[in-house]
Structure 1
Amino acid sequence: MTSEVLWTAPVAQGPVDALVRVPGSKSLTARWMLLGAIADEPTRLRRALVSRDTRLMRDALERLGAVLSVQDGELQVTPIPPPSEAPAEPIEIHAGLAGTVMRFVPLLAALHHGDVRFTGDDAALQRPMSPVIAVLRAQGVEVTEHGEAGRLPFTVHGKGHLAGGRIEVDASESSQFVSNALLVAARGDQDLELVHRGASLPSLPHIDMTMETLRAVGVQVSHEVDEDGLHLWRVARGTIAPGSIVVEPDLSNAGPFLAAAMVTEGTIAIADWPERTTQPGDAYRGLLEQMGAEVWREDDSLCVSGTGTIMGIDADLSRTGEIAPTIAALAALAESPSRLRGIGHLRGHETDRLRALATELTRLGARTVELEDGLEINPSPLRGTVFETYEDHRMATAAAIIGLRVPDVRVVNVETTQKTLPDFVGMWLSMLHTDAPAGGTW
């Protein structure tokens, strides 16, 4: 147990009834920022997320030579200039706990002429990075590992180019190990053919998201599954022209607010929910309905109402693992057991989320069994206790959901939510009709 400041999650005094506007998608903001840094012209991003993760991405891109500024409420990205013939001075990039920085930017650093050292928070040094290093080396890039093999910190010795060509990757632990290679592939010396060889391929919607953003900027990209079941992506060299982009709201971050409607038998509307999206959070519509909610669209909003019943669920969340903590929190409050499957890859996120959820939900009173690829959650009467977050933003929001019904849930370091939702506490209190402070700025 840490000695971090505790935040007592507020208990709802009645049904919630609110229209919530969540900030822009972290996953999309990171992709658009990176593509803007290697584009052929400046990029303008409207409704880009401002959070710790995106600030870390901004810092990384600026260290590599991009210029980012806010003009008329839009984030403008001026691309990195061509590398000089002489090696630049060594630079260091601190990834914090941002997977998009530690896994996307090293491929970009190969296009830089000079040494780029990557490090991060203590917890980041435990996250798997071997596939990133393997892809770099397969494209002729020298990488020096400074500690445990396949972990941060390491140095990319950029020579100003990536070879491209046909390479293989094992992305069983994270879809980011595919997206990182695809995002910069249009700047390679040759077209890229990327083959996945591994036991599983989690979070496919995030790879679909990467492909959709590439197509939106004019990059030719395709995906197929061959007769042997191998996934193959092809990306052609070419121009990158994002222009002006409006970032979708973060649907995964909308989840805790939608869950609040179920827990309190209230109604929450999330503004500007896209009719079509690659975001994994769109799965909330079907999952919450299965768990007993009423779900419908009203104009541009998605609405969820609680019915007084939360039912357990047996669900394969392999495509949508990032929403598992929210579903697990609801499962702890449900009337019947739940089994969440296909999420073994969550062990390599900000923390081992399966172990963390099993530990903390059991501490609250919901006996939770950690399975090889998921969780089995058995609801029981819950009691207030200290809820450890393990520096994981989604653990903090899961605790807040349970705290709506269970008094005295004390959340360790709720400020970890600033990773992707800079004013979570303020938004939560506002939903409960309590004054809240304003959000963050660049």
Structure 2
Amino acid sequence: MSLDAFEVIGGKPLSGAVVPQGAKNEALQVLCATLLTEEPVTISNLPDILDVNRLLELLAGLGVSVERLAPGTYRFEAKSVDLSFFQTEAFRRDASRIRGSVMLIAPLLARFGQAFLPQPGGDKIGRRRLDTHFTGLQALGAVFNYEPEQRQYAVKASRLKGAYLLMDEISVTGTANVLMAAVLAEGVTQIYNAACEPYVQQLCRMLVSMGAKISGIGSNLLTIEGVSRLGGATHRLLPDMIEIGSFIGLAAMTQSELTIKDARIDQLGIIPRMFERMGVKLEFSGDDIRIPAQEEYEIQTFIDGSIMTIYDAPWPGFTPDLMSIMLVLATQAKGSVLIHQKMFESRLFFVDKLIDMGAQIILCDPHRATVIGLGRKHQLRGISMSSPDIRAGVSLLIAALSANGRSVIHNIHQIDRGYENIDGRLRSLGAEIRRIEG
């Protein structure tokens, strides 16, 4: 059996400093963008996580030269791309394991006129349709076909042409895909209702450094003037804002003093403010965030005294990837909060594990949960549980580290998909955690 479980002995305060890894969601976008040019592209601060490593293998399978220059730094050269790799069983198997593989379509379509993709995998957090990707590419002139027997998508285009696009949903990966196609399309493309997350902004900056012409970066209206070719570039990933939020939640839950180094606070949006609403104290020094040890933290109420509601929204709203962390954080707070997960309908289904640990949570429906904070009067208790997805897995890990006694978390490859060496980094802060057979 593989070591696919964590054994955690909880209830111990942690201390020390941690440097957040490079942003997972940005990594998946910019890695796909290396296919847009035959010139070398160097990317640094890449996290050593399953999803990134699987995408690196896919790029290598397509014939991209992938050279590791240093830990987290790679040089890519997509001079000789082998499109026959699409038809191999290895491609179908590996591409279906990672949802970020959908962003291979646009750069291959833009440069070679065709792309194939098996139905991608990823987190089991509800319906995550791909219509936005394909309708956007169709508007640029692509012909799309779904082959249900092979569960495979095929997209072809002799020449992409610029168009006005009103995205039917604010999709980060959908925006990234259309953007990567538009930079090599003929004429001008406008993408309205575009996602404007820092990850998309970073992709835009990398494309501009490669020679793309993009205006409106950071807004929901992107204007792209197509160019005939792109050149090489050097790009560094932002720190992962989801990991930063995870460490803030960990510090508060375990009554620990932690410092998060080099956090790029200017790119965190309202994330720090939302933790402050939950009663967590944050101190900022340069680009570092210090979370002092707190015996208790109290959830704020709205001005009229009504119960606080935390809900997710497209950027610059609060990211859905931190909703699980907020829910766990609320279990030991003073006060109550309504957690409203609007964007995915299955992300709250891990609360049964928290209830088994002693948390007071009412699951109202697939999107909403009311948490009655225990105010540390009753410590969570350790149990055996399973990780359903990346974010819920880390949230359960935080709960286990704050709980009394021994917990076992199974299915931790889900956590490894998004968090680099999480057990080793937690041990460096004083956590008692080890990998065991799952």
**Which segment drifts farther, 414-423 or 115-124?**
115-124
Corresponding position of 1:328: 327
Aligned length: 409
Question: Identity rate of aligned residues, in percent?
Answer: 14
**Which of residues 377, 383, 388 is equivalent to 2:371?**
377
**Which of residues 239, 244, 250 is equivalent to 1:260?**
250
Deviation at residue 399 of structure 1 after TM alignment = 0.7
**Which of residues 198, 206, 214 is equivalent to 1:221?**
214
AA matched with 2:415: T
Deviation at residue 374 of structure 1 after TM alignment = 4.1
Give the superposed CA RMSD.
3.5
Post-superposition CA distance 1:173-214 (Å, at most 9, x none): x33222221133211133222234xxxx87745444444444
Post-superposition CA distance 1:205-232 (Å, at most 9, x none): 5444444444454433234999xxxx54
Q: Is 1:233 aligned to 2:227, yes or no?
A: no
Check 1:54–1:140 CA distance in 2 against 1; reply closer, same or farther (3 A cut): same
Corresponding position of 1:440: none
Q: In the aligned structure 1, how far is the partner of 2:256 from the partner of 2:407?
A: 21
Deviation at residue 379 of structure 1 after TM alignment = 3.0
Post-superposition CA distance 1:116-136 (Å, at most 9, x none): 232344867963212222223
Corresponding position of 1:52: 50
Q: In the aligned structure 2, how far is the partner of 1:75 from the partner of 1:119?
A: 28
**Which of residues 15, 18, 41 is equivalent to 2:16?**
18
Contact map agreement 1:296 1:304 (CA 8 A) in 2: yes
AA matched with 1:432: G
AA matched with 2:146: E
Corresponding position of 1:163: 161
Corresponding position of 2:390: 393
Deviation at residue 22 of structure 1 after TM alignment = 2.5
Check 1:409–1:203 CA distance in 2 against 1; reply closer, same or farther (3 A cut): farther
Q: In the aligned structure 1, how far is the partner of 2:196 from the partner of 2:356?
A: 29
Contact map agreement 2:206 2:233 (CA 8 A) in 1: no
Deviation at residue 76 of structure 1 after TM alignment = 0.2
Q: In the aligned structure 1, how far is the partner of 2:215 from the partner of 2:115?
A: 32
Higher relative contact order (CA 8 A, sep 6+): 2
Q: Is 1:100 aligned to 2:97, yes or no?
A: no
Check 1:71–1:160 CA distance in 2 against 1; reply closer, same or farther (3 A cut): farther
Check 1:135–1:257 CA distance in 2 against 1; reply closer, same or farther (3 A cut): same
**Which segment drifts farther, 121-130 or 157-166?**
121-130
Corresponding position of 2:119: 119
**Which of residues 272, 276, 281 is equivalent to 1:294?**
281
Check 1:89–1:275 CA distance in 2 against 1; reply closer, same or farther (3 A cut): closer
Check 1:308–1:212 CA distance in 2 against 1; reply closer, same or farther (3 A cut): farther
AA matched with 1:79: A
Deviation at residue 95 of structure 1 after TM alignment = 3.1
Deviation at residue 422 of structure 1 after TM alignment = 3.0
Q: In the aligned structure 2, how far is the partner of 1:179 from the partner of 1:323?
A: 21
Secondary structure at 2:177's aligned position in 1? helix
Check 1:142–1:325 CA distance in 2 against 1; reply closer, same or farther (3 A cut): same
Check 1:315–1:241 CA distance in 2 against 1; reply closer, same or farther (3 A cut): farther
Contact map agreement 1:292 1:306 (CA 8 A) in 2: no
**Which of residues 349, 354, 366 is equivalent to 2:360?**
366
Q: Is 1:131 aligned to 2:128, yes or no?
A: no
Q: Is 1:314 aligned to 2:309, yes or no?
A: yes
Q: In the aligned structure 2, how far is the partner of 1:269 from the partner of 1:224?
A: 31
Check 1:383–1:11 CA distance in 2 against 1; reply closer, same or farther (3 A cut): closer
AA matched with 1:298: S
Q: In the aligned structure 2, how far is the partner of 1:208 from the partner of 1:89?
A: 29
Check 1:35–1:117 CA distance in 2 against 1; reply closer, same or farther (3 A cut): closer
Secondary structure at 1:9's aligned position in 2? strand
Secondary structure at 2:283's aligned position in 1? strand
Q: Is 1:189 aligned to 2:165, yes or no?
A: no
Secondary structure at 2:402's aligned position in 1? coil
Deviation at residue 283 of structure 1 after TM alignment = 3.8
Post-superposition CA distance 1:264-310 (Å, at most 9, x none): 22211122222432xxx554422222222321233542211232122
**Which segment drifts farther, 314-323 or 359-368?**
359-368
Check 1:188–1:66 CA distance in 2 against 1; reply closer, same or farther (3 A cut): farther
Deviation at residue 40 of structure 1 after TM alignment = 5.9
Secondary structure at 1:346's aligned position in 2? coil
Contact map agreement 1:42 1:78 (CA 8 A) in 2: yes
Secondary structure at 1:179's aligned position in 2? helix
Q: In the aligned structure 2, how far is the partner of 1:202 from the partner of 1:10?
A: 41
Q: In the aligned structure 1, how far is the partner of 2:298 from the partner of 2:153?
A: 49
**Which of residues 196, 213, 236 is equivalent to 1:246?**
236
Contact map agreement 1:83 1:160 (CA 8 A) in 2: no
Corresponding position of 1:153: 151
Q: In the aligned structure 1, how far is the partner of 2:386 from the partner of 2:195?
A: 26
Corresponding position of 2:176: 179
Check 1:276–1:240 CA distance in 2 against 1; reply closer, same or farther (3 A cut): farther
Check 1:5–1:79 CA distance in 2 against 1; reply closer, same or farther (3 A cut): closer
Q: In the aligned structure 1, how far is the partner of 2:269 from the partner of 2:9?
A: 27
Secondary structure at 1:177's aligned position in 2? helix
Check 1:101–1:283 CA distance in 2 against 1; reply closer, same or farther (3 A cut): farther
Q: What stretches of structure 1 of length at least 5 have no aligned partner?
A: 438-442
AA matched with 1:132: H
Deviation at residue 80 of structure 1 after TM alignment = 4.5
Contact map agreement 1:385 1:410 (CA 8 A) in 2: yes
AA matched with 1:366: Q
Contact map agreement 1:35 1:240 (CA 8 A) in 2: no
Q: Is 1:402 aligned to 2:399, yes or no?
A: yes
TM-score (norm 2): 0.81
Q: In the aligned structure 1, how far is the partner of 2:15 from the partner of 2:291?
A: 10
Check 1:60–1:83 CA distance in 2 against 1; reply closer, same or farther (3 A cut): closer
Check 1:418–1:162 CA distance in 2 against 1; reply closer, same or farther (3 A cut): farther
Q: What stretches of structure 2 of length at least 5 have no aligned partner?
A: 300-307
Check 1:375–1:146 CA distance in 2 against 1; reply closer, same or farther (3 A cut): farther
Deviation at residue 169 of structure 1 after TM alignment = 2.8
